[in-house]
Structure formats: C-alpha cells, structure tokens
Amino acid sequence: MHPPPGEPGPSTAARHAENARYRPALAAATALFFMWGFLTALNDILVPHLKGVFDLGYAGGAFVQFSFFSAYFLVSLPAGKVIAKVGYKRGILIGLALAGVGALLFYPAASLPSYGFFLSALFVLASGIAFLQVAANPFVAGLGPEEGAPSRLNLTQAFNSLGTTLAPFFGSYLFLASTGERSKLASAQAVRIPYVGLALTLFLLAVAVALFKLPRIDSVEGDPGAHSIRDALGVRRLALGVLAIFLYVGAEVSIGSFLVSFLEQPKIGNLDPMSAARHVAYYWGGAMVGRFVGALVLRYFDAGRLLAGCAAVAAALVGVAFAMTGTLAMWSLLAVGLCNSIMFPTIFTLAVDGLGKLTSRASSLLVMAVVGGAVIPVLFGVVADRFSLQTALALPALCYGYVVFYGLRGSRRA
C-alpha cells in the first residue's frame, strides 16, 4: 500500500525521525566546533603580536603555531585510546577541561612575560582541542547515515569557521590596538583578561555538556579490540588521507599565520597592523561561507571530485599571490579561504568511510596529522626569512597540489 500523495514513505519518515533524535547532539557538537575554531584563529593574531613583543623573526613567530599544532601530534594517539575506553562524551569533557587550563595559563605567561611560558600555555590549550577533535569529528560523522557524513561535518565545520572569522576582529581590538603606544610589558599583558574569559567559557561549556545526554553511536563508538594503528594505516585511503590532512592544514595555517605581515607590505596592501588583522577575517570568513554552501552541495556532488576542484583553485590563487603584487595578490590570497572550506571535513570523512570500530584509531591518526600546522609554517618562516614572504608561498601551492591527487585518486576505495 502506497502512502497518500504528499506524505513521506516509511523510509523517509524513519530518516526524519532519526535526524530529529540526533539534532540536539549535533547542536551541542556545533558549539564545540565554534569554540575551537575561535581559539585556533586567535593564533593568527598572536603570531604578529608576540613577534613584536619579543622582537622575533618570521621563523621565531611561527613557533606559536609549532607549539599549538605539535600538541595534536603528541596527544592525539593517547586521546584516541582514552576515548575508545571512556566514550566520546567523557573525551569531550577532558578536552574542554584541558583547554580551559591552557587558557588560564596565559595569565602568568603574560605577567612575567615569557615567550616560553606562552608556548607552554598554547601546548596545554591545544592538547584539549586535540581531545575535542578526536572525539567530535567521528561523533558528528556517526550522527546519521554514512552518505550524509560529509554534509553533516561540513555544516558543523561551518560554525567552526564562524569562530575563526570572529576571532581576528576580537584579537585585533584587544591585542593590536595602539600597540605602538604601549610598553612591551603592557602589550604582553593585553592577552590576560581575554584568555581568562575564554577559560571560563570553556569550563561553563564543560558543565553544559556534562548535563547533556549525548547518544551513543554504536557504529563508531567502542573499543576497537585487537585492531591497531598499523591495521588502520593498512587502509590505503586512510594512510593517504593522513598525508592530505598534514599538507592541507600546513598550507592553511601558513597562509593564516603570515597574512598580517603579507598585507602590511607596501607592494601588497600597505595596511597598518590592525587593518591587516581585520582582513584576516575575510580569509576565515570565506571558509565559513564555503562550508555552509558545501554542506548543501555535497548532498548532490561527488565529495572527492569537489575536493580536488577546490584544491586546484586554491593552488592557482596562491600562484597569483606568488607572482603578482598589489590588490590582486592581496585578494587572491584572501580568497584561498573560500577554497579551504570543505577540505578538512571532506578529507576526514573520505578517509574514515566504512572503518567501523577502527574509526577511533583512524580519527587519532587524522588529528595527529594536524601537526602539519606546526611543521609547515616553520618551514614557511625559514624560507620567508631567507628570501621573501612571496617566495615562501610556493610551499602551500605544492601542498594543495597533493590534495588534488587525494580527491581524484587517493580517496577511492580499492
């Protein structure tokens, strides 16, 4: 018997019921994505801020990102093992608590002030975010049918990008306003109150999550048993996906970290530090817009081909910024953010597709690969110090080239 016209059939009704059941959990996860996006993008303002406070070169300033993203490499595997035992909800709580402690440590770091202490605080904060990443990405991927996972993860990542878009405005007013009129000590101490406020927000979010009943996702949650990291890496699309995440994040973070310095150059934008910092919001705002659009588009187009197309355009835009000057170079590099939009969530979902109980292991490896955001910006800084910022743009262009390969070939099931 067919349903009356205009009414959904049983399978559609069941899908709608399942989506409604998962909607509150998806909303809670979205709040987490927003917070870690905000905290991560603040680093793009911290780099020029601390570079000025401690009189650092490009490579020295890049150690902000090195300390932050190296935590992903060192913490992700232990985080995956912990989450496999305690579940995604408790893993999220651990992550929020660690990130909150790291944010609080900015107060003594700024009071001294000590660059080493700042880097240590960033490492602790990022360790918490690594827990959140390992827990939240597969959790969102499992909140519904597998074929909808890229769309769901792009939607939550869009709110992550909302955080990264707002952070440069926040940081530019609090860290860079009137920098030249303040002493080195006063400039360093400008970060104390904002990070204490962020710590309190993280702790409050942890309390809210603790009181929230999150569903258990049996398809991806639970102890992987005898399966090891080596078993996970034996899956070709996962192993190649780990490298894709490494190179993509390295490219994205390298560009974001040095955008302020790039836009300040007389032959590019000739902007003052505060105006340049505000322009960083266009870079991250493009990623936000692209992810909202991507969440819809990915329902209808092949994820791998769309990923390859975005990476190819990103490489071309970086090439323009490498070769040209003035507003053309400036806006070409800012437009790369739009192309970045779907890359992380799409690579992630393509890499973990169909891995079942191996998902927590795979998620740890993929989040570990975010260490690309530690390694490649330092290499970028070394090249920039020796040659120029424009010359260093060759590095992210090459990284995007590999992502093109992964989208077209590397992500396919054997």
Give the pLDDT band of residue 217 (cuts 50, 70, 90). Answer: low
Give me the DSSP letters along 17-59.
HHHHHHHHHHHHHHHHHHHHHHHHHHHHHHHHHHHHHTT--HH
The whole-number pLDDT of residue 4 equals: 46
Q: What is the pLDDT of residues 385-402, one digit of tens each?
A: 999 999 999 999 999 999
Question: Which helix or strand (DSSP H or E) is residue 102 part of?
Answer: helix 88-104
pLDDT at 3 over 50: no
CA distance 213 to 45: 36
CA distance 115 to 137: 32
The whole-number pLDDT of residue 300 equals: 86
Most confident of 81-85, 112-116, 165-169, 401-405: 401-405
CA distance 144 to 146: 7
pLDDT at 327 over 50: yes
Cα distances (angstroms) measured from residue 77 to each of 34, 74, 142, 376 = 23, 7, 20, 21
Q: Give me the mean pLDDT over the 178-183 stretch.
A: 58
Burial of 108 (0-12, 13-18, 19+ CB in 10 A): middle
Which has more pLDDT, 349 or 382?
382
CA distance 63 to 116: 10
pLDDT at 333 over 90: yes
Nearest Cα neighbor of 217 from 66, 25, 33 is 25
Tell me if the domain spanning 24-410 has CATH number 1.20.1250.20: yes
Q: What is the DSSP letter of 222?
A: S
Q: What is the pLDDT of residues 309-318, one digit of tens each?
A: 999 999 999 9
The whole-number pLDDT of residue 39 equals: 93
Longest dimension (CA), the chain: 79
Helices (H), 142-271: 149-171, 184-189, 192-211, 229-233, 236-264
Q: Where are the domains of the chain?
A: 24-410
Alpha carbon dihedral 223, 227, 231, 235, in 10-degree steps, equals -50
Amino acid (one-letter) located at 274: M
Burial of 401 (0-12, 13-18, 19+ CB in 10 A): middle
Q: Give me the mean pLDDT over the 347-354 stretch.
A: 88
Which has more pLDDT, 187 or 100?
100
Give the pLDDT band of residue 77 (cuts 50, 70, 90). Answer: confident
The whole-number pLDDT of residue 243 equals: 97
- 3-state DSSP of 291-350: HHHHHHHCCCCCHHHHHHHHHHHHHHHHHHHHHCCHHHHHHHHHHHHHHHCCHHHHHHHH
Alpha carbon dihedral 302, 303, 307, 308, in 10-degree steps, equals -40
Most confident of 163-172, 274-283, 373-382: 373-382
The whole-number pLDDT of residue 161 equals: 83
- Mean pLDDT, all residues of the chain: 86
Least confident of 7-16, 41-50, 227-236: 7-16
Other CB atoms within a 10 A radius of the CB of residue 4 amount to: 6
Q: What is the pLDDT of residues 234-262, one digit of tens each?
A: 889 999 999 999 999 999 999 999 999 99
Give the pLDDT band of residue 5 (cuts 50, 70, 90). Answer: very low
By percentage, how much of the chain surpasses pLDDT 70? 89
Q: Rg (Cα) of the chain, in Å, rounded?
A: 21
pLDDT at 362 over 90: no
